[in-house]
Structure 1
């Protein structure tokens, strides 16, 4: 078992003919990377010689893994082996420490050969069919470790190393613990040495009680007043050997109360090649007991789970005859068969058939046995059909099975044939009903509880499904059918379906619309008798901004809409307390009407702006008039503080997402109308303290903030920051003044002077375009050649 047992893996005894590259490729195809293989080889802690020996014993070429050898003095990690033989193959199949275990059913490359064969032959199988019972050994061995100390059953055989605890209580009291020596003796106060060789715990208790009775008379009195208890403390260990087709064969030191199952759990259990039904306990060079693990798994019987003795050998032979069963059984799996097991025995192992099994037919996919192949010279397999009801009949002969039979138990159909159904939102109890002989539409309606009042009685449909699954539709008058009129009260057949409509399924629900100054404008269902006030109430009432004088209704007559395109307009008076004038009490809305509730002209709530920073009273201010200006709000904020620097003020307009505006707040404060903007709701003005630096960034020697020196040009500030780099684009230098204005160098005028708080940006030169000189020359020559040709032709034409 190396990585995979399929054709893509490294097959036993075939690796010798493969190169290192072939082996690496074969491992990769099984889903194992080279690093993963190396890591798992290290995890085995085996030397190169030990790996070769393990491969040879498993039936592989000893050099099958030489391509993954970790060079360390010509050896793999040559640490002592800490696991029994078989650890190499086990480590290559298990996940590394800390990794989540991958269930066997999810790893097709690790499926046993018979499982893969079934998946290939029956691709429609719902899940991989795995050998039964092996998964119980996938848990950690510590989960099933026996106790290392008492209590034990009375038949436990005492042995060297057991700790015997003697308690005397009653008139006399003491406790004494003694360990059984190699000579199978213990020493007890008052009675001396006691020989326990070959005794069970119950027998030892009787012997010790008899000896103590010679010292304490209360023990042997007719009415005892002194009592003796003999129990065990620490138990001795035994050594057993677990061999054959197990995951980790070898010698194990286990508790003396360990059974066959405990030992198998320690070794990882049988491999899929090992038997689950003929585990042998070898004692004194003879078979002491045959253990059938199926009895433990299926019936919970521990009759065969005997206690082991030191020197016992638990041997797992190769698996015997197997057969797979899948389909409508309770436990689909691959089962090992004992001698004499037949068809019904296999079904019993699988938990019996399910109620959905088709008793008319079962099928066996059979490999023709050696003894019968002469009868079928041109076939290797054959299908055997069986009547399941006949096989399971009382007194019937159970058919024989052969090795690797694949039994399929088929499922009955899922279609209910003796049913009819009725559907529709207006049916009281829609659903599927049993079809009775002579049943008609009226009978089905009666069983469904009838209809609600919105049922549409003039037309319904019956959909009929024929034997060939073709479908046909039949229309009928539902009202007449319920009344029993023969032409409409149709006779029902299997799988007929009756569809009943509500009148609202075929009729459009009419609506009206309201918009304007109401709390919940939108479209609402038109109700008979609805007035404008009714609609306003459904729309949540009027807003504070609503005009209390009138509502406007727009109406289109659907019967004349093709010839009359314009809408008819009605003005309905309303009052601020929602009371409608006399016109409203009689004016009713019609379908598709649109109602408009107008807003009071020039209605506005408070419009706020914010002024923060270096003003006397920073905060939010409501605008006093539609045309209030910046200077007015700053004056209301107490004016500028002495340390304010209005040149660097920022002005951000929220309206229309305008963002920051380049506004000279210092000029606006002085009353210059160009900068003294009319404010809008959401405007934000931030007036900082006076900065004392100019920040220089980009392609300069040392980007930094340079101390402000009034009147200096941008070139001076660039020099203070280390001058231009070779990549600097001097023609595109930009200065962002503190007020937001952007200026740059001028060709014929002196460069602008940055103000305090300005940002000076020196960009990088754009990459130069590379010209293909040869291509350009060729293009020019082509143009010139064309021109010369044209001139020549023109000259010839004028001769």
Structure 2
């Protein structure tokens, strides 16, 4: 009993082991079988030129599919997807395909090697089963036969019987059929064979052709058996099979028929010469075999077609360069070719003279490197630049010496410095040396002419380059208009065309060269720095003064300089022209006296005429000329009066200290509805960065909602400051303390009399209410619903109609609030965060204490 149980356990164990074994074997067999049976794959669906051709192939590689729309050109090729090589996408060596010569023709969808079925039947065509023969008899008698070749190779002709045609050429078939038909058609002759006595002829053509099966094997992308038309040739099959792989040969493709190699195909004949030699017509059961490549070389560098090439025995380096690679590129170094070759143990480098390339045999694995000519290296180049008329490069053969090169370059310009010409020369050790030559000594034969060498650089300096750029400057009341450097200044001026008179305009072609030499370089700017400009009226003349710097010219006078500057303004003081000159005499006395410069003062003629009144003062380099403003010259100043006035508008000031009362009187006095206590004076002033920042912080902290305090532009440094005035007292007491002196740009604003008061800020309901003379500050707050929890009561303030501000005050437990007038605005600021926190803590503590007291009282009551 126990032995039976042991036997059952052992049997169960071996059963499970057998199942595992067969499962694993089946898995391995399913993976290996497609590769082992690759060349024995079944015949495909056949090639129909209007349909799809397929063939079985390796796993993970789709068979090539070709289709067309009847035009003879493919509209689909499975090996090319969106212009990309499908094989490259699945082959890990895809990058190698780009460099193998000839591989591209099998992946190019624009090439299509389709058998041409619309050609005359070749005379050597072998007739076989499934071929169709069409026989037409014409002349004195007519008849038509359509004969199909059966599997035995015979055709059945009516009234004649079976005729064997299989294995015969089309020419032999024609003769045999005509011979058979002549028994019933007397005098019958084959078409084109000569005149017939009976005028009776027979035309025999090939109709539908048969399909044949051809095996493509070896190193092709899609090996297998292909069903193709009997007119197909070897190249058609190679293209359908995807061409040789990256390991396949292009030079020795064998066609095997009846177990014999009947010929080989060298694709390089087609790729390089456009000739397809030995493109055999295929027969049924032919085998097209593509073997492994034997010898391959790599040509890189300056060659027209750098790629990987396959060569056969006895091919030379010359053929590889000129035929395979297409020859050297234009910038190739053709004297020598470097070849990297494998030995049995390592590599070695060979330097081959191209003259011997015809006898140099190639070896498998050779890498042929064609180097380029060294850039920027010339065997005969000279360079001359500087102050010559035709600078540039010249050849050493045409200019062997310095004098010949100078002559060839057009000679020197007028400003050339010929006493020292510099030659930069490249020495044999690839370092440079400098040679200095005096041209005058060469002309006088004191020195011999210099023989030049390749890569010599000759520099001719200009006299202007050897001295400081001399300038003169004029300041003050000149008429030159300039462009303001401050982009935000809306009063920017443009450069005036007066900087050049008609006689001084230079040729446009010479403008750049003259600028290079320091001519016509005009440098205009404001006399006063833009950061120092103020809006005060007494600075107007200073702010508009200009400064002009121009190159110095010999014998220039002050009048000449003024003419260059566009003349003088009417505000110029011609009686005092001041010139400041550098101190150029460096003596001990000057050092002791601490002298900086010399000052010259004189008057000039306003008309700038060359008469006896013209100054004879000659300017020197770096002179500074100052044209002052006339002390009696004044620019008009204006004040604006607007609002509730009889004649609002702009008024010019008559005297420097004109008062507000004078302008109000000139403007016709206020109207009956004018708010005299709310009048204000708006004065333009420049804010500092600190003031702008402080003002913004104040507005943010106060959470100001007032419409009367606004900033037109936060980034603008100019603002109108509102100054409160009381016109009621001012007009009653003209010239008094309240009667202020107006300034240029002031605006006097007289508002209409308002009968309202505005309450805004931290109140329950910000609103505007009617003014009542018997209401105080708290009455108006009550009309807006009262204070909120965030109200900063101690910081409350009132803005009056004229811009004045008054705030709340407190002393101990006493508080006083500002008086309210018509048109006022009451503002309750927001309590700061710290104050809110303190108030919150007080509320918490108060609530806690209240709770404790309530709890204590409750306990006491419960105890009692």
Give the TM bin, normalised by the shorter chain: 0.5 to 0.7
Distance 1:686 1:315 in 2: 111
Distance 1:723 1:591 in 2: 76
CA contact (8 A) 1:696 1:705 kept: no
Matched, 1:756 2:825: yes
Matched, 1:454 2:454: no
- Residue in 1 that maps onto 2:572: 546
Of the candidates 419, 423, 435, which is equivalent to residue 396 of structure 2?
Answer: 435
Instruction: Give the Å deviation of 1:558.
Output: 1.9
Distance 2:468 2:628 in 1: 30
Of the candidates 587, 590, 599, which is equivalent to residue 629 of structure 2?
Answer: 599
- Residue in 2 that maps onto 1:678: 742
Distance 1:721 1:281 in 2: 111
Matched, 1:385 2:351: yes
What SS is found at the alignment partner of 1:357? coil
What SS is found at the alignment partner of 1:663? strand
What SS is found at the alignment partner of 1:504? helix
Distance 1:483 1:302 in 2: 77
Distance 2:578 2:404 in 1: 54
Distance 1:398 1:195 in 2: 62
CA contact (8 A) 1:706 1:717 kept: no
Q: Deviations over 1:551-580 (max 9, x none)?
A: 322223523477542433333433443336
Distance 1:584 1:452 in 2: 37
CA contact (8 A) 1:648 1:737 kept: no
Instruction: Give the Å deviation of 1:586.
Output: 2.5
User: Any stretches of 5+ residues in structure 1 without a counterpart?
Assistant: 1-52, 59-83, 91-99, 116-128, 158-181, 186-190, 199-238, 374-378, 770-799
Of the candidates 464, 475, 486, which is equivalent to residue 515 of structure 1?
Answer: 475
Aligned CA distance change for structure 1 residues 240 and 556 (closer, same or farther; 3 Å): farther
Q: Deviations over 1:643-702 (max 9, x none)?
A: 9987965687999965445525574687496696734449797979979765548xx9xx
Matched, 1:723 2:788: yes
- Is 711-720 or 418-427 further displaced after alignment? 711-720
Distance 1:131 1:416 in 2: 34
Aligned CA distance change for structure 1 residues 482 and 643 (closer, same or farther; 3 Å): same
Instruction: Give the Å deviation of 1:479.
Output: 0.5
Instruction: Give the Å deviation of 1:287.
Output: 11
Aligned CA distance change for structure 1 residues 651 and 611 (closer, same or farther; 3 Å): farther
Aligned CA distance change for structure 1 residues 467 and 630 (closer, same or farther; 3 Å): farther
Matched, 1:331 2:305: yes
Matched, 1:582 2:612: yes
Matched, 1:361 2:361: no
Distance 2:835 2:349 in 1: 80
- Equivalences for 1:285-434 in 2 at 5 Å? 321-337=295-311, 342-347=316-321, 348-368=323-343, 373=344, 379-391=345-357, 396-402=358-364, 404-414=365-375, 419=380, 421=382, 423-434=384-395
Q: Deviations over 1:124-169 (max 9, x none)?
A: xxxxx95556678999x6x77999xxxx995399xxxxxxxxxxxx
Instruction: Give the Å deviation of 1:484.
Output: 2.4
Instruction: Give the Å deviation of 1:308.
Output: 13
CA contact (8 A) 1:512 1:594 kept: yes
Aligned CA distance change for structure 1 residues 285 and 746 (closer, same or farther; 3 Å): farther
Q: Deviations over 1:282-305 (max 9, x none)?
A: 999999999888777767779999
Higher gyration radius (CA): 2
Distance 1:313 1:669 in 2: 124
Distance 2:280 2:746 in 1: 89
CA contact (8 A) 2:333 2:371 kept: yes
Instruction: Give the Å deviation of 1:197.
Output: 9.4
What SS is found at the alignment partner of 2:440? helix
Aligned CA distance change for structure 1 residues 508 and 316 (closer, same or farther; 3 Å): farther
Instruction: Give the Å deviation of 1:496.
Output: 3.6
Distance 1:242 1:671 in 2: 119
Aligned CA distance change for structure 1 residues 264 and 735 (closer, same or farther; 3 Å): farther
- Residue in 2 that maps onto 1:558: 584
Aligned CA distance change for structure 1 residues 526 and 398 (closer, same or farther; 3 Å): same
User: Any stretches of 5+ residues in structure 2 without a counterpart?
Assistant: 1-29, 36-57, 65-81, 122-130, 135-141, 150-212, 481-523, 525-546, 680-705, 732-736, 771-775, 839-864
Distance 2:95 2:615 in 1: 88
Distance 2:436 2:301 in 1: 43
Matched, 1:476 2:430: no
How many residue pairs get matched? 579
Instruction: Give the Å deviation of 1:539.
Output: 1.9
Aligned CA distance change for structure 1 residues 359 and 283 (closer, same or farther; 3 Å): same
- RMSD of Structure 2 on Structure 1 (CA): 6.9
- Residue in 1 that maps onto 2:600: 570
Distance 1:653 1:705 in 2: 28
CA contact (8 A) 1:734 1:761 kept: no
- Equivalences for 1:190-269 in 2 at 5 Å? none
Aligned CA distance change for structure 1 residues 689 and 288 (closer, same or farther; 3 Å): farther
Aligned CA distance change for structure 1 residues 504 and 344 (closer, same or farther; 3 Å): same
- Residue in 1 that maps onto 2:559: 533
Normalised to the residue count of structure 1, the TM-score between the two structures is 0.53
Distance 2:31 2:738 in 1: 95
Instruction: Give the Å deviation of 1:593.
Output: 1.6
Of the candidates 463, 468, 471, which is equivalent to residue 503 of structure 1?
Answer: 463
Instruction: Give the Å deviation of 1:480.
Output: 1.0
Aligned CA distance change for structure 1 residues 720 and 331 (closer, same or farther; 3 Å): farther
Of the candidates 744, 766, 788, which is equivalent to residue 706 of structure 1?
Answer: 766
CA contact (8 A) 1:260 1:308 kept: yes
CA contact (8 A) 1:325 1:350 kept: yes
CA contact (8 A) 1:653 1:682 kept: no
What SS is found at the alignment partner of 2:561? helix
Aligned CA distance change for structure 1 residues 730 and 329 (closer, same or farther; 3 Å): same
